[in-house]
Structures are given as structure tokens and as C-alpha cells.
């Protein structure tokens, strides 16, 4: 697949790709920017990149007309000029494509390559391309491996394009909106420019076991709990992360902010090799009555990821929910646990639905002897670890080794995670705790914390589940 994409990119670099543009007509004129496309357009960067590569052109009046639908015959010409299409079959003439058709050769080429097959002997050259048809065009033209399992509420199992739609969703080329794909909607010029750009930027790796280097990757992270800090200290946070070799940030979001409030920060962090996981949580989020607040975070992050470019996307969603600090926990622990379990399952289900987001959460270190409601033989910590992509165990202690140390407090969790092929991150505290100074490195300082975390790294290096550590929190760490 990559060979075909790379070849297309080579043609683009020599100015040989798509010289006819998205709207192919003798009257089309080459445009240097478009009068109706400015930086406020959500697809601005995609459109301008394709225009600079001579992949799209505008109308003679200097407009792009991004809301216009794109016709099937024009897509045929684009694919024919973009790629060295293989011949898989002999051409079978379409009843509605005459020998005098201006686009006959391109239509022949895409049929022979299996990209377009038509319907009951007709190509329908003047018809607009639908989103379902678009999915097939992209998968077949760029030879993407079929990926099943990405379902949409408006794409039935019997839909002929189901697997094509699932595939482009898997590769984040087109992911729909709010659980719907809208397969029968027309594709606009703006959308098609965006999709072609995304395919060109697609970087797929061979599906093979992870390399030893990938297996050895460890996280070193911190929490950003104050949403306003992320808005007001973007540059400081990135600089701090670089200075401290941080490659993981759990960041709380203000859901009233526009997506643009975060996109540049996430892009810069991703470019620097720093994963950003959106974070939220409150003790009450364990209760049924508060599930809507939890889902509001999930919906915001998924809609954000579906809107922005891939390099601006969050890697996952992280929860920090501690219901044991509420009065209801003391009154009926098992009932609260039951509701918490339901919310955890809902969180994971909705986070993973039609997305590649990771689901993770913080977990207190003292659930070893807490029974799981409905599963009395399973400790609650094991049930939680089974649900998550990774779990951050809150091993809040100020020494690595010894009885009651970081390793001792996290040992059961990390051993179980290894046995179930799950990932575990050790979480430590540097916030002051006057009543319990032994749970924080505040008194000892950052230098001692680093020494102890080096010991944790060394002692747990042979455990396949150990995935690094994270410090709570940026607000306190930066002042040490």
C-alpha cells in the first residue's frame, strides 16, 4: 500500500499529479489561493496544501466553491492521473459512457483497476459521489488493507460499503460524526481535498510484533489538573516537559472552550514526542446520576479528534475518580462500587466506540482486598485493570523499596497486569501532605524523588507490564 501512496507523492512533487484538479473542465484556471477560502475555513490547510501541489485548482473567478459536490467522472480523472493504476480486468463498456466522452480513458482505467464498477451497466458520470462510494474509491485506489469492526449507527450490516467505511474510519481518513457516517450524503470539494490530503499523509506500519525498542518504551509524565493552566501556560508546559524529558501528559480540559484552544498545543506536544491524554474526574463520577458529566468529556474529545488533523489529536482519555472520599462510600461501599463499575464499563465502551482512543484511569493502591460486586472471588483492582488499556496505580510513598514503599504497594497490581498482558504506570505524589508526609516527595524534594524513581525503574525493568511513572502534579513539580 505504501508503495502506491509514495508513487503518488512522487508525481505530486514533480507537478504531474491531478493537473486537471477537483473540478475538471476546459474553463478551469490555476489559482494562487482562493478568494472564498481563508484561515477560518476548517479545511484551509488541506485545501492550500493540495493547491500548492497542483492537485486542486479553482474556478476562473478565483473561487474554490468548497461546498459544491464532486462528480464521479471528475474523481475518475483524478485517480487516473494520480496513480499508476493496475489493470485487473478487461474494460466492459458502460451504457451511459459513449466513445466520445471526454473522460472515457479515465473511466476505463478506474473500472479496470476495480475502483469503480458502476451499477447495472451504468457509470453515472454526472452523478455526485456519495460518502459510501468515496470510501470504496479510497480503499481500492490506495490499496488499503480492509479493517472491519468500526460500526456506525446508520451503516447497516447489509450495506455494500460497510467494510470500506470501516476501513477508512480505522485509518482516521473519515470518521463520521456523533456515531453516524451518513453514507448517502454527497462528498463536497472541500471534503474530498481533505480526504486526499489525509491519505497522502497516512503513515502505516507493517502489522507485526512490536520491536524490542517499542517494548522498552517507558513513560515519564505528569498531571495538569487546572484547565486554565493548559490555556494560559502552553509554552511553559511544553518547555517544562522538554527539560524534564516528559513524554506523557494527563491534561484536564475546559469543555466550554473551542477546539482551537487545544489544537496547537496538542500538535506541538505530539511533534515533541509527548502524548496528550485528556483527563477528567470527580468523586461523584462513580455514581449513576453523574454519568452524563463523564460522557460529556468523552463526547467532547471524540468530536475534537474527528474535527482536527491527526497530528492535533489526543491519544486517550484518562479518568481520576475517587469515590471513597464521599459520604456515600462509608454508607454503602458495595452499592457505590456497583455504580462505579457500570460507569467504568460505559466510559470504556463509549471511548473505544468508533475511535482509536486509549482508555485509562487512576487506581488507589489499597483495593487488594476489596471484593468486586458480582464477582466475589475477584479483587476490585483486577477487575479495573482488565477494563483499561493502561492503569495508573497511585503508589503514593516517598521511598522506592522496603515494606510500604512504592514497589511494595504496587506489586500485586503490576504482577497481575503482567499476567494479563496489560500496561501499568506508577503514579507518585510531590504535593505537600502535612498530615501524611510519607505519601509525598514534597519534603524530600525533586532530586530525591528522581533517585527513588530510578530505583523503581531498575527494580521493575523485567516486568513486562511496567510502563513507566507519572508525577502528581505539574503545579507542584515545577516549583521544586
List of domains in the chain: 2-200 (no CATH), 212-477 (3.20.20.80)
User: Do residues 391 and 385 make contact, with C-beta atoms less than 8 angstroms apart?
Assistant: yes
Identify whether 67 is preceded by a cis peptide bond (ω within 30 of 0): no
Q: pLDDT value at position 199?
A: 86
* Dihedral angle of Cα 127, 131, 136, 138, to the nearest 10 degrees: 100
User: Do residues 458 and 209 make contact, with C-beta atoms less than 8 angstroms apart?
Assistant: no
Nearest Cα residue to 335 out of 391, 374, 292, 361: 374
E strands, 295-448, in order: 316-319, 358-364, 371-372, 375-379, 390-394, 423-429
pLDDT in single tens digits along all 480 residues of the chain: 444 444 444 344 333 333 233 333 333 333 357 899 988 888 888 888 878 766 676 788 989 888 999 999 988 887 887 677 888 888 999 999 999 998 999 899 999 988 898 889 999 999 999 999 999 999 988 888 888 767 788 898 889 999 999 889 888 888 777 778 999 999 998 898 888 888 887 744 334 454 444 445 699 999 999 999 999 999 999 999 999 999 999 999 999 999 999 999 999 999 999 999 999 999 999 999 999 999 999 999 999 999 999 899 999 999 999 999 989 999 999 999 999 999 999 999 999 988 889 999 999 998 988 999 988 888 999 999 999 999 999 999 999 999 999 999 999 999 999 998 899 999 999 999 999 999 999 999 999 999 999 999 999 999 999 999 999 999 999 999
User: Do residues 346 and 287 make contact, with C-beta atoms less than 8 angstroms apart?
Assistant: no
Q: pLDDT value at position 246?
A: 96
Could you tell me which residues are beta bridge partners of residue 54? none
Q: pLDDT value at position 451?
A: 96
Q: What is the DSSP letter of 288?
A: G
Query: How wide is the angle at C-alpha 173 spanned by C-alphas 123 and 25, nearest 5°?
Result: 40
Q: pLDDT value at position 217?
A: 64
In sequence order, what are the residues at sequence separation of 6 or more whose Cβ sits closer than 8 angstroms to the Cβ of residue 8?
17, 82, 83, 142, 200
Query: How wide is the angle at C-alpha 334 spanned by C-alphas 333 and 337, nearest 5°?
Result: 85
Pairing of strands 375-379, 371-372: antiparallel
Here the cell at position 93 is: 463498456
3-state class (DSSP) for residue 329:
helix
The dihedral built from the CA positions of residue 376, 379, 384 and 386, taken in this order, carries a sign that is negative
Distance CA 470, CA 453 (A): 10
Angle between helix axes 131-141 and 189-200 (nearest 10 degrees) is 30
What H or E segment, with its residue span, contains residue 387?
A: helix 380-387
| CA distance readout (Å), 182 to 29, 139, 175 | 32, 18, 10
Is the whole model's pTM more than 0.75, yes or no? no
User: How far out from the chain centre does Cα 362 lie?
Assistant: 20
Here the cell at position 466 is: 511496567
Here the cell at position 79 is: 485517480
Q: pLDDT value at position 15?
A: 36
User: How far out from the chain centre does Cα 452 lie?
Assistant: 33
Amino acid at each position: 500500500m505504501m508503495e502506491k501512496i509514495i508513487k503518488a507523492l512522487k508525481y505530486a512533487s514533480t507537478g504531474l499529479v491531478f493537473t486537471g484538479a477537483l473540478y475538471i473542465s476546459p474553463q478551469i484556471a490555476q489559482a494562487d489561493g482562493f478568494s472564498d477560502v481563508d484561515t477560518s475555513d476548517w479545511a484551509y490547510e488541506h485545501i492550500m496544501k493540495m493547491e500548492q501541489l497542483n492537485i486542486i485548482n479553482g474556478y476562473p473567478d478565483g473561487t474554490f466553491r468548497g461546498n459544491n459536490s464532486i462528480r464521479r467522472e471528475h474523481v475518475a480523472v483524478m485517480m487516473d492521473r494520480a496513480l499508476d493504476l493496475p489493470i485487473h480486468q478487461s474494460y466492459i463498456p458502460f451504457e451511459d459512457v459513449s466513445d466520445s466522452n471526454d473522460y472515457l480513458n479515465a473511466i476505463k482505467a478506474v473500472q479496470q483497476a476495480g475502483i469503480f464498477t458502476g451499477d447495472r451497466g451504468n457509470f453515472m458520470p454526472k452523478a455526485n459521489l456519495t460518502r459510501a462510494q468515496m470510501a470504496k474509491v479510497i480503499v481500492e485506489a490506495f490499496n488499503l488493507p480492509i479493517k472491519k469492526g468500526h460500526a456506525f449507527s446508520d451503516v447497516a450490516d447489509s450495506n455494500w460499503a460497510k467494510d470500506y467505511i470501516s476501513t477508512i474510519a480505522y485509518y482516521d481518513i473519515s470518521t463520521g460524526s456523533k456515531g453516524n457516517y451518513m453514507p448517502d450524503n454527497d462528498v463536497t470539494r472541500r471534503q474530498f481535498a481533505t480526504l486526499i490530503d489525509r491519505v497522502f499523509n497516512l503513515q502505516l506500519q507493517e502489522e507485526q510484533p512490536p520491536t524490542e525498542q517499542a517494548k522498552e518504551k517507558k513513560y515519564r509524565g505528569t498531571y495538569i489538573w487546572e484547565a486554565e493552566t493548559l490555556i494560559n501556560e502552553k509554552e511553559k508546559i511544553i518547555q517544562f516537559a522538554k527539560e524534564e524529558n516528559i513524554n506523557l501528559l494527563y491534561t484536564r480540559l475546559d469543555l466550554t472552550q473551542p477546539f482551537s484552544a487545544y489544537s496547537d498545543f496538542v500538535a506541538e506536544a505530539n511533534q515533541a514526542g509527548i502524548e496528550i491524554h485528556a483527563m477528567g474526574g470527580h468523586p461523584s463520577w462513580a455514581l449513576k446520576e453523574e454519568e452524563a458529566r463523564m460522557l460529556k468529556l468523552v463526547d467532547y474529545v471524540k468530536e475534537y479528534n474527528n474535527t482536527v488533523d491527526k497530528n492535533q489529536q489526543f491519544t486517550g482519555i484518562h479518568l481520576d475518580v475517587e469515590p471513597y472520599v464521599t459520604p456515600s462510600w462509608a454508607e454503602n461501599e458495595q452499592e457505590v462500587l456497583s455504580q462505579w463499575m457500570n460507569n467504568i464499563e460505559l466510559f470504556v465502551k463509549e471511548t473505544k466506540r468508533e475511535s482509536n482512543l486509549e482508555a485509562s484511569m487512576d487506581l488507589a493502591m489499597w483495593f487488594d482486598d476489596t471484593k468486586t460486586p458480582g464477582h466475589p472471588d475477584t479483587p476490585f483492582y483486577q477487575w479495573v485493570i482488565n477494563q483499561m488499556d493502561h492503569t495508573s496505580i497511585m503508589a503514593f510513598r516517598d521511598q522506592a523499596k522496603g515494606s510500604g514503599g512504592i514497589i511494595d504497594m504496587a506489586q500485586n497490581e503490576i504482577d497481575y497486569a503482567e499476567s494479563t498482558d496489560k500496561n501499568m504506570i506508577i503514579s507518585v505524589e510531590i504535593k505537600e501532605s502535612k498530615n501524611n508526609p510519607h505519601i509525598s516527595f514534597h519534603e524530600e524534594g525533586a532530586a530525591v524523588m528522581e533517585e527513588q524513581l530510578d530505583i523503581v525503574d531498575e527494580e521493575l525493568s523485567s516486568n513486562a507490564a511496567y510502563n513507566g511513572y507519572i508525577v502528581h502534579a505539574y503545579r507542584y513539580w515545577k516549583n521544586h
